[in-house]
Amino acid sequence: MNHLTLNDGRSIPQLGFGTWKITDEDSAPLVKKAIETGYRHIDTAAIYGNEAGVGLGLRQSGVDREELFVTTKLWNDDHGDPAAALRTSLDKLGLEYVDLYLIHWPVPEQNLYASAWKTLVTLREQGLAKSIGVSNFYAETLDDLQDSGVVPAVNQVEIHPTFANRATIEANTARGIVTESWSPLGRAVDLDIPILELIAARVGASVAQVILAWHLAKNFVVIPKTVSPARMRENLETLDLVLTDSDLAAIDALDRGNRTGSDPRGTVPRPTPSSA
């Protein structure tokens, strides 16, 4: 497994297993299977409603806690008390700490994300979250966190070939923040693009593998979700797939600004999100 170094000195497995839209009941066997397949990074969130199942799957895997990297996220309605929200998530997960705790959305109309971030800093100091970061933040909201003196370790945002999200990636890079991709396959919309099919045929891989290899080559963390054990293995095999510079350039050229989830600059639906 490849790892990336975070700005707090810790490392994160570059390829993880996403659990969005997996039910609590289904999460335990799927997380267990993912870990048996070789995954060590599991991504969930309070709003997914599956933290208990994810935690059960972690325990059933039999893998030592120290070998696993677990991410969960603070939901929009809990910006006023992140400490209580994290305690609830830890109780559901059955864990003493998470490896990464993210503010799921900035929700600018609430204007609470900067104060919530300061609480996350305290939670990290207390050891309840080993690393802290954000999700769906953009340059202006990242700058609003500067007063804390702590830069997010990760910003998890929507990225896929037809939505390159370059401005956010540049903002992350300039601040030393690792970029993590959610919806890395464009919710399957990007799987039918002819140039990707041509590249996949040439390298002997699936289109999904080609897209994931593009994310990995750009030094993003990527967390594809699947309920298929076969696709779990296929996604993990992407770590061995090398694309040429011309392949990467061809995929870069597919950007159409095709956002599939909510725009974080606007109003994010509550309580059920329309995106990861």
Is 138 a residue of the active site? no
DSSP for 174-223? HTTPEEEEESTTTTTGGGG-HHHHHHHHHHT--HHHHHHHHHHHTT-EE-
Coil vs helix vs strand at 143: helix
Q: Which residue do the tokens 């045929």 mark?
A: 201
Measured in whole angstroms, the distance separating CA 162 from the mean position of its chain's CA atoms is 18
CA distance 196 to 190: 9
CA distance 228 to 34: 10
Which one from 39, 48, 101, 138 is the annotated catalytic residue?
48
Q: Which residues are catalytically annotated?
A: 48
